[in-house]
Structure 1
């Protein structure tokens, strides 16, 4: 049986893929291990982007702020060769997950107050919008 952190990470990656697809991105899966989790094509520009997926955590000891820890397995920050964007998936038990996307600014941690998350970060819906997809 998979460890809870591995299961949570895989869940976050699948939810991120779902949100990107629902918002018109073309999502690719690498056959080999890469530094990024997802390679996707932006529906507006046609540019490809390397995306690193992380699970959002809520820090009650920091006033309920949301935090995305964006470090590689070796403890270093993701550079632009690794990821253009970070996608954070906030999955509270029993609730529909929320997905936030933001540019990789080479930080090890990204913080945001819960009340301002959808203002500061781009929130991606997981609900499909067929009109948006047809227009692309």
Structure 2
């Protein structure tokens, strides 16, 4: 049976393995916010039992945050660096 996450990542500091799902991040002009739609193919959200972290990618930026079982995750440009972890993209 296929897994719902995209890949596994190991933290080199503690050796723990995390399940990660990657999604496209969009900018919603009407709300002036970044949004990541975190739904499976059936429309249901990823649960904490299925995925540990979600990574939202938009062109040359990537942000990681904990899966909370929501269908959508939102942040403004002003709060994104406080709410989500920005990943280095080469």
Normalised TM-score (structure 1): 0.62
Q: How does 1:72-87 map to 2 (within 5 A)?
A: 72-87=40-55
| Higher relative strand content | 2
In structure 2, list runs of 5 or more residues that go unmatched: none
Q: Does structure 1 residue 104 correspond to structure 2 residue 72? A: no
Within-5 A mapping of 1:50-129: 50-62=19-31, 64-91=32-59, 97-127=60-90
Q: CA RMSD in A?
A: 1.3
Unmatched segments (≥5 aa) in structure 1: 1-31, 92-96, 128-136
Shift, 1:82, TM fit? 1.8
Which of these two proteins has the greater Rg computed from alpha carbons?
1
Structure with greater helix share of residues? 1
Q: How many Å apart are 1:81 and its aligned residue?
A: 2.7
Taking the aligned partners of 2:76 and 2:13, their CA distance within structure 1 comes to 29
SS at match of 2:44: coil
How many residues align? The count is 90
Give SS of 1:119's match: helix
What's the offset of the Cα at 1:115?
1.9
Give how far 1:76 is off.
Answer: 0.5
